[in-house]
Chains A and B, each alone.
Chain A
């Protein structure tokens, strides 16, 4: 996919980690789901089952190696059980 891979690690304190997730609200998030589609939108909510809600979401569906079909959907909920990976837009650390 060619995007930078940087993994986020836990801080050791669950409350601290929850605050980190809370700080992601309205930030850009990308989610890959099990049928190969990718959703990109602003993060709104997550629950204990890892269900994620994104707003202003765009759906990308692969046509071939070079091309994606793009469709603007809006407010979506991605079921936790179908989420393969999630990426959050973070400031670059110098």
Chain B
């Protein structure tokens, strides 16, 4: 140990001195630097003698790889049997998969002793060392792939530090990557050599070839992802499929060779001195020898039999991404976002799959090769048939699609915005939307908890975008010549289309609010005493969304529409009496007419309706169970002994905090909610509520069945797999709730002291409510 001190200094024993001073200090008193000592530092400290943090605590000393070579417990790579070589390769594949799952490289791949010190324990390639040559080639492809993966993931921002550790802690060096330019040729040569010298490989030549080809295909698919464009994606898809096939062969051969020995392998882990055990190349405790600022805990690695499912899922995700992405180049924004949502619902997503999609999708501020501004403009065009000429012109001007100046019809413009400001505001508006859509995609590529957190930020961003939209709409109003189509009978004034941009923004904000609340159910975040708050808010948001969508899907009346309305009006007034302007008796002012909706738009509207009626029904059901519990009615329904310190006002406002930072949809405070409840349900009995709940749930089920029928009529192209599954889950959930409502009505009559439980097994998005003891 180094006893060296700085020149002119010496070590002084301060044991007793320190003990005396500390014993005279007050409880909690500390002596430290007055300014450079913060809570952050204290929380980062590693506590010694604590088994969870101290990796050296009460553990026997782990010998270095050099010591093991010298004393012969670790044989040279050439001395390994073929089974040991194959097991090492399989274990490296398994280790890499566990790296995908959140462990670090030193805890996984670099627990392979032969990888230490730049493969010096394997040696340089040489014709006399066939096994070493194969292993060097195998690991070169592994290292290169790791490098590509780290490069891909570091370029996107949809992972947390806990999910993926991209640091190699100095174990990954440039030397490991030397000579990787001709890997494909090297692999071909190696395979030919193996095939020509099969006798050297003790009957395992084909197993070696499969593993080399697998590694090559895996490496090539990763390389294709890194240098992605639409054409290269087809290569990525081909290599990934090839990987999948080869992996099935590897799994089979692994099971045949090591199936019976797996138990022995697990038990032999501690026997470091046995050079014949098949997992000789791995020691997870070697990690503890690493010098590192962060604690790297030794973790026993799982064998390939237990991690194979990670690779199967990962390859499936890659195939899904490559296949889907190929079709999204040139697609519209709806399709792109739908793909992202479908991807986010896949099972067993890991951080690598999610980052891969984000990386492939977004390159140079383009989504699948199309400029985001263009996608947004097209989306607005297709979703706002109600835009008037001014809306169209300003959009085109700000996107420089039509360089002609805005056609002003009214020179007396009030100074809300002048023309240049309007274009600038529109540019800012579109830029903000592009940014928020990128962030939305990013959120969908994050883990569910992070997705929810990002959604809360996006809701606030949409709030700001909606304010800009209102500014633009007001400008358009000032410029707009009120649409006056005079006839001998009536005048129409159009108002609805004045707020086209605002409605567009409100739709997106409401959709995000809805998703934000539903994710909370999937994560089971809500306490049982606040689920009915969430259901009520969901009902409120869905209702607003539905109304907003109806307004959006309107268009200005054409001349033909006007003629038709004129003839209808003439039929109402047979005397042909002239009507006063702006006053139409027996016929409300015709503002706009419903537009022809596309099948996708129809389905979307129906699905919003489904959500509205489900949340409405479940809310009433939940409320019925709560009222039934307390004879005092509403007074104590928020009281819960498990949360004594959180009063309902705080809990409600905290739960819907992000909604209070936007103006549309109008946020609801706890007092407003309570007053609504007291006004609407003051005299409601549990059985009234249960009846209404039943009706709402029944209606939503009918709508869902209509949706499924409509989907079938449209050649099964309107809903994707996850949406179909989601609808089926919701139907099951509704059926279960209907039964529960019937049972609850019977229990309510007996006035037993029971409380509601909320179960999410049937449907992750909505609970089945049951009354239990």
Q: B56 contacts which chain A residues (CB < 8 A)?
A: 37, 59, 61, 71
Contact B45–A91 (Cβ < 8 Å):
no
> B293 within 8 Å of A by Cβ?
yes
Q: What is the CB-to-nearest-CB distance from A19 to chain B, in angstroms, rounded to a whole number?
A: 9
> B256 within 8 Å of A by Cβ?
no
Q: B292 contacts which chain A residues (CB < 8 A)?
A: 72-74
Give A27-41 interface residues, CB cut-off 8 Å to B.
Answer: 28, 30, 33-35, 37-40
Q: B289 contacts which chain A residues (CB < 8 A)?
A: 69, 71
Q: Give the interface segment out of B8-16, B239-247, B539-547.
A: B8-16
Minimum CB distance partner of B62 in chain A: A69
A48 to B31, CA, bound (A): 9
Partner of A85, one of B2, B9, B13: B13
Minimum CB distance partner of B57 in chain A: A35
Q: What is the CB-to-nearest-CB distance from A38 to chain B, in angstroms, rounded to a whole number?
A: 6
Partner of B1, one of A5, A17, A18, A38: A38
A52 to B78, CA, bound (A): 50
A75 to B57, CA, bound (A): 16
Q: A38 contacts which chain B residues (CB < 8 A)?
A: 1
Contact A18–B3 (Cβ < 8 Å):
no
A9 to B12, CA, bound (A): 10
Q: B2 contacts which chain A residues (CB < 8 A)?
A: 40
A70 to B1, CA, bound (A): 8
Q: A45 contacts which chain B residues (CB < 8 A)?
A: 30-33, 37
Q: What is the CB-to-nearest-CB distance from A15 to chain B, in angstroms, rounded to a whole number?
A: 10
Q: What is the CB-to-nearest-CB distance from A81 to chain B, in angstroms, rounded to a whole number?
A: 9
Minimum CB distance partner of A5 in chain B: B13
A86 to B704, CA, bound (A): 74
> B203 within 8 Å of A by Cβ?
no
Q: A87 contacts which chain B residues (CB < 8 A)?
A: 11-15
Contact B12–A88 (Cβ < 8 Å):
yes
Q: What is the CB-to-nearest-CB distance from B8 to chain A, in angstroms, rounded to a whole number?
A: 6
A92 to B15, CA, bound (A): 18
Contact A73–B12 (Cβ < 8 Å):
no
Contact B33–A71 (Cβ < 8 Å):
no
Minimum CB distance partner of B13 in chain A: A7
Chain B CB within 10 Å — which of A39, A48, A74, A85 has the most? A48
A6 to B12, CA, bound (A): 5
> B28 within 8 Å of A by Cβ?
yes
Known: A61-B61, A86-B14. A73 touches B9 (CB 8 A): no
Minimum CB distance partner of A94 in chain B: B8
Q: A61 contacts which chain B residues (CB < 8 A)?
A: 56, 61
Give how many A residues have a beta carbon under 8 Å from the other chain's beta carbons. Answer: 63
Known: A21-B21, A26-B33. A7 touches B293 (CB 8 A): no
Q: A20 contacts which chain B residues (CB < 8 A)?
A: 17
A12 to B52, CA, bound (A): 41
Q: A83 contacts which chain B residues (CB < 8 A)?
A: 15
Give how many B residues have a beta carbon under 8 Å from the other chain's beta carbons. Answer: 51
Known: A9-B17, A75-B41. A88 touches B11 (CB 8 A): yes
Contact B46–A73 (Cβ < 8 Å):
yes
Contact B293–A74 (Cβ < 8 Å):
yes
Q: What is the CB-to-nearest-CB distance from B283 to chain A, in angstroms, rounded to a whole number?
A: 16
A64 to B256, CA, bound (A): 45
Q: B5 contacts which chain A residues (CB < 8 A)?
A: 28, 89
Contact B28–A4 (Cβ < 8 Å):
no
Known: A47-B30, A48-B29, A68-B1. A17 touches B37 (CB 8 A): no
Q: B61 contacts which chain A residues (CB < 8 A)?
A: 61, 63, 69
Q: A79 contacts which chain B residues (CB < 8 A)?
A: 47-49
Give B318-359 interface residues, CB cut-off 8 Å to A.
Answer: none
> B306 within 8 Å of A by Cβ?
no
Minimum CB distance partner of A55 in chain B: B41
Minimum CB distance partner of A21 in chain B: B31
Partner of A75, one of B16, B18, B45, B49: B45
Minimum CB distance partner of B288 in chain A: A71
Contact A3–B11 (Cβ < 8 Å):
yes
Q: B31 contacts which chain A residues (CB < 8 A)?
A: 18, 21-22, 45-47
Contact B11–A6 (Cβ < 8 Å):
yes
Contact A75–B46 (Cβ < 8 Å):
yes
Give B13-65 interface residues, CB cut-off 8 Å to A.
Answer: 13-33, 37, 41-42, 44-49, 56-58, 61
A70 to B15, CA, bound (A): 23
> B6 within 8 Å of A by Cβ?
yes
> B291 within 8 Å of A by Cβ?
yes
> B120 within 8 Å of A by Cβ?
no
A75 to B46, CA, bound (A): 6
A59 to B293, CA, bound (A): 12
> B294 within 8 Å of A by Cβ?
yes
Chain B CB within 10 Å — which of A4, A44, A82 has the most? A44
Q: A68 contacts which chain B residues (CB < 8 A)?
A: 1
Contact A50–B18 (Cβ < 8 Å):
yes
Q: A39 contacts which chain B residues (CB < 8 A)?
A: 48
Q: What is the CB-to-nearest-CB distance from B465 to chain A, in angstroms, rounded to a whole number?
A: 44
A39 to B518, CA, bound (A): 51
Contact B11–A35 (Cβ < 8 Å):
no
A47 to B26, CA, bound (A): 9
Minimum CB distance partner of B21 in chain A: A17
Minimum CB distance partner of B17 in chain A: A8
Q: What is the CB-to-nearest-CB distance from B704 to chain A, in angstroms, rounded to a whole number?
A: 57
Contact B46–A77 (Cβ < 8 Å):
yes
Minimum CB distance partner of B64 in chain A: A69
Q: What is the CB-to-nearest-CB distance from B485 to chain A, in angstroms, rounded to a whole number?
A: 77
Q: What is the CB-to-nearest-CB distance from B67 to chain A, in angstroms, rounded to a whole number?
A: 10
Q: B23 contacts which chain A residues (CB < 8 A)?
A: 48
A85 to B14, CA, bound (A): 8
Known: A71-B289, A72-B291, A87-B13. A77 touches B22 (CB 8 A): no
Q: B293 contacts which chain A residues (CB < 8 A)?
A: 72-75
Contact A60–B1 (Cβ < 8 Å):
yes
Q: What is the CB-to-nearest-CB distance from A68 to chain B, in angstroms, rounded to a whole number?
A: 4
Minimum CB distance partner of A2 in chain B: B3
Interface string of B48-88 (1 = CB under 8 A from A): 11000000111001000000000000000000000000000
Q: What is the CB-to-nearest-CB distance from A63 to chain B, in angstroms, rounded to a whole number?
A: 7
Q: A92 contacts which chain B residues (CB < 8 A)?
A: 8-10
Q: What is the CB-to-nearest-CB distance from B58 to chain A, in angstroms, rounded to a whole number?
A: 7
Interface string of B264-302 (1 = CB under 8 A from A): 000000000000000000000000011111110000000
A39 to B47, CA, bound (A): 12
Q: A59 contacts which chain B residues (CB < 8 A)?
A: 56
Q: What is the CB-to-nearest-CB distance from A78 to chain B, in angstroms, rounded to a whole number?
A: 5
Minimum CB distance partner of B293 in chain A: A74
Partner of B6, one of A77, A84, A89: A89
Q: What is the CB-to-nearest-CB distance from B654 to chain A, in angstroms, rounded to a whole number?
A: 34
Q: What is the CB-to-nearest-CB distance from B648 to chain A, in angstroms, rounded to a whole number?
A: 41
Minimum CB distance partner of A32 in chain B: B15
A22 to B293, CA, bound (A): 25
A77 to B49, CA, bound (A): 9
Minimum CB distance partner of A68 in chain B: B1
Q: Show 23 A/B contacts (Cβ-Cβ < 8 Å), sorted by A.
A: A4-B10, A4-B11, A6-B11, A8-B17, A17-B20, A18-B31, A20-B17, A28-B6, A44-B32, A45-B31, A45-B37, A46-B32, A53-B42, A61-B56, A72-B293, A77-B45, A85-B15, A86-B18, A87-B13, A88-B11, A89-B5, A89-B10, A92-B8
- 9 tightest A-B CB contacts, nearest first: A48-B25, A45-B32, A74-B293, A72-B291, A8-B17, A60-B1, A68-B1, A50-B22, A87-B11
Report which A residues bind B (CB closer than 8 A). 1-10, 14, 17-18, 20-22, 25-26, 28, 30, 33-35, 37-40, 44-50, 53, 59-61, 63, 68-80, 82-92
